[in-house]
Amino acid sequence: MAAFHFELVSPERLLFSGEVESVVVPSTEGEFMVMKNHAPVMASLRPGLVTVDDAGKVSKLYVRGGFAEVSAKGLTILAEEAIPLDQLDAAKLDQQVRDAGEDVTDAIGADAKRLASEKLAQLQELRAALKM
């Protein structure tokens, strides 16, 4: 298969940069696959998995929001947050979800409850992605 350049960048670091065969992108309009010579497009990301096929070696990364741009230079994803799935610990994540649920219950005031609920929702999205 023909390869194209792909970069995945989060605020903390560059997570991937190299030539790949395909990338599945979770956009707000639905998932789409990018391959060499894909038409130019800009898309908003939804929380989900980016699946990278690097010459038969498939890797998955969880992203929470951001943007994807396909151009003549390749695909660039600027993610609000990105975590390789192989770096996640399911037991630790389950404990964080339980703790966040307790934080929602214990929150006093509308702002505190909203912030705690947002954190819980993000952790639940990550846990759901891990079980895919």
Q: Highest-confidence range of 5-19, 74-88, 115-129, by mean pLDDT?
A: 5-19
Q: Just give the CATH number of 4-85.
A: 2.60.15.10
Of the two residues 56 and 37, the one the predictor is more confident about is 37
pTM above 0.95, yes or no: no
Tokens describing residue 16: 């991937």
**53-66, pLDDT tens digit by residue?**
988 889 989 888 89
User: Using CB atoms within 10 A of its CB, is residue 70 exposed (0-12), middle (13-18) or buried (19+)?
Assistant: buried
Instruction: Enumerate the domain spans of the chain.
Output: 4-85, 89-130
pLDDT confidence of residue 132:
54
Res. 79 pLDDT band, cuts 50 70 90: very high
